[in-house]
Amino acid sequence: MRRPPWLLSRHSWRVDLAKTEDARTLRGIGVSAGVAYAPALVLDLRFPDVVDRTISVDEIEGEVVRLREAVERVVDSLVTLQRRVEERAGEEESRIFEAQVFMARDPEFLATVEHLIRHNLLSAETAYEFKALEMRVAWSGSSSARLRERITDLTAVQLRMLRVLTGGEAVEFPITAPDEQVIVVAHELSPGLTVQFDRDHLAALVSEEGTRTSHAAILAHSLGIPAVMGVTGAISRIKTGTVLLVDGQSGTLVIDPTPSQLREASTQVTRRRKLAFELEAEIEEPCVSPDGHLVRLEANLDLPEEIDMAVRHGATGVGLLRTEFLVTGRTHLPSEEDQAAYFRRVATAFPNGVVTIRTFDLGGDKFPAAFDAPDEANPFLGWRSIRVCLDHPDLFRPQLRAVLRAADAGNVRLMLPLVTRIDEVTTTRALIAEESEALARAGIRAAESVTLGVMIETPAAVILADRFAECVDFFSVGTNDLTQYTLAVDRGNVQLAARFIPHGPAMIRQLRHVISVANQAGIPCSICGEMASEPLLAVLLVGLGYETLSVAPPSLLLLKRLLRQVPYAVAMQAAEEALAEDNADQILASLREHVAPFVDLRQIDPRGPLPGRGLRA
Ligand code: PEP
Ligand code: MG
């Protein structure tokens, strides 16, 4: 990593020792572990000041032309951006801009702006601003989380338009200065914004909005970039160029850190980097405990960009292939061919392992712009996931066909999220059978059937685990949702972040129950929630009986090292004692005690993934 030397020499730091440490420390949610320090790049996405202006009748046509030209300039800039992202990150990610182009060209909206120019004699920017504001107010007043997600795209488009109409440039955020790394600070990191970052220049991410499950958090975590979200007041407190120290584990950020804080951070970074290099040397080693117990480490993949790292870090397969990115923020649903091609691509990357394709888990925190979902007061208790798929065969059937087609050549299996009822499985099986016959009739190469499993991520699924085990081929436990639904704690609520504890007594009893049921039924059962990425908790899970953990790619190597150091007998003992404890703190303390004789706890504390860059090609 290039940052520290140049940072010290080329940036004058405004270290003001008179400020109290508290005044300089902001707190949020640590969504991606790691420590970074670099100058801030504040993305101030405020709208330009538009001076209200009326025009004469003679000027009408000129203003209308100006409006149309602005639209074309904005569309051009979006298309250029789309191409750039496509080159760097692939076609799928770049599609995020399709929705924005669509919005920029929205004929109905532009007609209302033109109407204001012609009939109210307003300048193009005054008319546009007026209508844009009206639209944002209408959307933000809606309780629909889906519309709220689209507001970020809408705002991005309107911002570009107003900048162009007021004589500025369309907004671009490439971080392209050679050799420079920055910490991006934004109000909200929308998918459209994050996808633009040149990740080699990104030291860390900070945002006022957002939680562990937001797109940017998932991305930062999977790329090993430290990130803190939910930092209230960050934009007004931080100026571009000010040095920040970000700790993505504790969720803190220090403005103008003191020399001693920087020294300590530098030591941490060096230690983590050294560890990262040591771990790379162990890539080929099997994940076997000192007493001979084998654990399979698989990868959770959210985006195509992660495939590479998962392969290089020795994932034995894909325990969770999320497919929502094929839909969210897009204007069109993905075709069967596109999906089959993507599934084949992933399967080809793991010739010796199985790839677990999860059907669309839409709704809740993942909203497809391309899909007409209703407004809901409680989206996480609403029309989401398998419910949406079963109600919408037009969405579900092509995905099932794509999976059958990919299963013809690759080792893939299918997994249903958020099941609460047995008939969700039986109905899906019937649909698979129908689609298989249809494919055969049409002479399309496809597997006759596919291995089918369910995510155990609702208390209902835990309670019915024995019945589910009779009708599926495997389980995978989704601890993120299981924690949310068990503890009645919204996984996306910043205020409840400290209460979102996946290792409390209510959770681990369920985890033990599920693995026991699976073992009795003789079906495989893995874990794919974030909990498995936490080193200490991974030991607990192994002790509870889980033999396959599926985690974000940057977590793979550290977990392997840990599981190679802790004897299985110790993990089992730790799990038994954890089951007897009454609260989560005691459970953690007891785990630490068991693990401490075998592991350098500093390596896992701060825990979480190691710096991505040290491990990237
Ligand atoms: C989970 O709920 O634990 C899970 C892995 O799925 P997601 O985070 O995508 O809801
Ligand atoms: Mg889930």
Q: Within a 10 A sphere around the Cβ of 585, how many other Cβ atoms?
A: 12
Ligand 1 closest atom vs CA 320: 5
**Crossing angle for the helix pair 505-521 and 584-595, to the nearest 10 degrees:** 70
**pLDDT value at residue 613:** 27
Q: How many angstroms separate the CA atoms of 131 and 407, rounded? A: 49
Q: Within a 10 A sphere around the Cβ of 101, how many other Cβ atoms?
A: 18
Q: How many angstroms separate the CA atoms of 143 and 335, rounded? A: 30
- Between 221 and 62, whose confidence is greater? 62
> Which helix or strand (DSSP H or E) is residue 62 part of?
helix 60-89
**pLDDT value at residue 326:** 84
Helix (H, G, I), strand (E, B) or coil at 457: coil
Instruction: Name the range with the highest mean pLDDT among 6-20, 47-61, 499-513.
Output: 499-513
pLDDT digits (tens, 9 = 90+) for 141-165: 666 666 666 777 788 888 889 989 9
Task: Please answer whether residues 209 and 187 qualify as being in contact, where contact means their C-beta atoms are separated by less than 8 angstroms.
Answer: yes
Enter the pTM of the model.
0.76
**pLDDT value at residue 178:** 45
Cβ burial of 41 (10 Å; 0-12, 13-18, 19+) is buried
Give catalytic status of residue 201 as yes or no: no
Reading phi first (left if > 0) and then psi (alpha if -120 to 50, else beta), residue 390 is in alpha
Whole-number Å distance, alpha carbon 480 to ligand 1 midpoint, is 5
Residue nearest to atom 7 of ligand 1 (CA): 480
Question: Measuring from each residue's beta carbon to the nearest atom of ligand 1, which residues come in under 6 Å?
Answer: 320, 322, 361, 457, 478-481, 528-529
Instruction: Identify the nearest ligand to the CA of 358 by its number.
Output: 1
**What is the DSSP annotation of 458-520?**
SHHHHHTHHHHHHH-SEEEE-HHHHHHHHHT--TT-GGGGGG--TTSHHHHHHHHHHHHHHHH
Both structure tokens of 175: 């971080």
- Between 202 and 296, whose confidence is greater? 296
Task: Please answer whether residues 300 and 528 qualify as being in contact, where contact means their C-beta atoms are separated by less than 8 angstroms.
Answer: yes
**Percentage with pLDDT > 70 across the chain:** 85
Whole-number Å distance, alpha carbon 312 to ligand 1 midpoint, is 24
Residue nearest to atom 3 of ligand 1 (CA): 478
**pLDDT value at residue 174:** 46
**pLDDT value at residue 142:** 66
Most informative mutation of 323, 457, 462, 491 for ligand 1 (most atoms within 8 A of CB): 457
Whole-number Å distance, alpha carbon 478 to ligand 2 midpoint, is 5
Ligand 1 closest atom vs CA 476: 5
Give catalytic status of residue 528 as yes or no: yes
Most informative mutation of 480, 507, 527, 555 for ligand 1 (most atoms within 8 A of CB): 480
Over residues 498-515, the mean pLDDT reads: 95
Instruction: Identify the nearest ligand to the CA of 527 by its number.
Output: 1
**Percentage with pLDDT > 90 across the chain:** 57
Whole-number Å distance, alpha carbon 407 to ligand 1 midpoint, is 23
Instruction: Identify the nearest ligand to the CA of 324 by its number.
Output: 1
Ligand 1 closest atom vs CA 300: 5
CATH superfamily of 57-165: PtsI, HPr-binding domain (1.10.274.10)
- Between 500 and 19, whose confidence is greater? 500
pLDDT band at 567 (very low <50, low <70, confident <90, very high): very high
Task: Please answer whether residues 512 and 545 qualify as being in contact, where contact means their C-beta atoms are separated by less than 8 angstroms.
Answer: yes
Most informative mutation of 306, 366, 455, 533 for ligand 1 (most atoms within 8 A of CB): 455
List 287, 389, 525, 528, catalytic entry: 528
pLDDT digits (tens, 9 = 90+) for 193-225: 676 677 778 899 999 987 766 667 777 877 778
Q: How many angstroms separate the CA atoms of 230 and 572, rounded? A: 37
**pLDDT value at residue 273:** 81
Whole-number Å distance, alpha carbon 6 to ligand 2 midpoint, is 42
Residue nearest to atom 8 of ligand 1 (CA): 480
The CATH number assigned to the domain with range 25-45+173-259 reads: 3.50.30.10
Instruction: Name the range with the highest mean pLDDT among 2-16, 395-409, 603-617.
Output: 395-409
Whole-number Å distance, alpha carbon 250 to ligand 1 midpoint, is 22
Whole-number Å distance, alpha carbon 365 to ligand 2 midpoint, is 10
Over residues 428-447, the mean pLDDT reads: 98
Domain ranges (residues) in the chain: 25-45+173-259, 57-165, 288-603
> For the stretch 157-182, what's the b/e string if a residue is b when 16 or more beta carbons lie within 10 angstroms of its beta carbon?
bbbbbbbbbbeeebbebebeeeebbb
**pLDDT value at residue 442:** 97
Query: What's the mean per-residue pLDDT of the chain?
Result: 85
Instruction: Identify the nearest ligand to the CA of 478 by its number.
Output: 1
Q: How many angstroms separate the CA atoms of 487 and 395, rounded? A: 31
Architecture of the domain whose range is 288-603: Alpha-Beta Barrel (3.20)
List 201, 215, 313, 594, catalytic entry: 215
**What is the DSSP annotation of 269-311?**
HHHHHHHHHHHHTTTTS--B-TTS-B-EEEEEESSGGGHHHHH
Ligand 1 closest atom vs CA 478: 3
Both structure tokens of 15: 């270290």
Over residues 404-433, the mean pLDDT reads: 97
Q: Do domains 25-45+173-259 and 288-603 have the same CATH topology?
A: no
